[in-house]
Amino acid sequence: MSKKKIIIINGPNLNLLGKREPEIYGHQTFEQYFEVLKDKFSDKVDLVYFQSNHEGVLIDKIHEIGFSYDGIVLNAGAFTHTSIALADAIAGVKTPVVEVHISNVHKREEFRHHSYISKNSIGIIIGFGLRGYDFAIQTFL
């Protein structure tokens, strides 16, 4: 049985995990947690990580892998609430997407309650911290 190809794509400001608002996002960097995920899923998944603060770069990455990977785990950050273009990119590819949010966005500012990404995702994982990425990967297995 071949390994599944799954990519985790993080959007703007998620490169600051471990430093940014630790009361919301915790003290662990994503790179540290990614090593945990790679170890946990190494026998089943070829796991790749990509992060950008730029909307067009995220769209380009989705276009690049969106017909060849088995799954996309996407935390689009603030673009979740603003980017119709990112939603259209997801709708335009064949690879299924699971939307992830570290915090419970519904306990935060009202503008975070709407997602343009959700309607084009197969599911949403919200509010479980970094473990949400683990849960999202499991949906593709």
Please list, in sequence order, all residues whose beta carbon lies within 8 angstroms of the beta carbon of residue 27, skipping any fewer than 6 positions away. Answer: 18
- Among this protein's residues, is 133 annotated catalytic? no
The DSSP call for residue 83 is -
Bridge partners, residue 58, by sequence: none
Contact 93, 27 (CB under 8 A): no
Candidate list 69, 101, 116, 133, residue with the active-site label: 101
In angstroms, how far is the first alpha carbon of the chain from the final one? Answer: 12
- 134 is written with which tokens? 């683990």
81 carries an active-site annotation: no
Q: Which residues are catalytic?
A: 25, 101
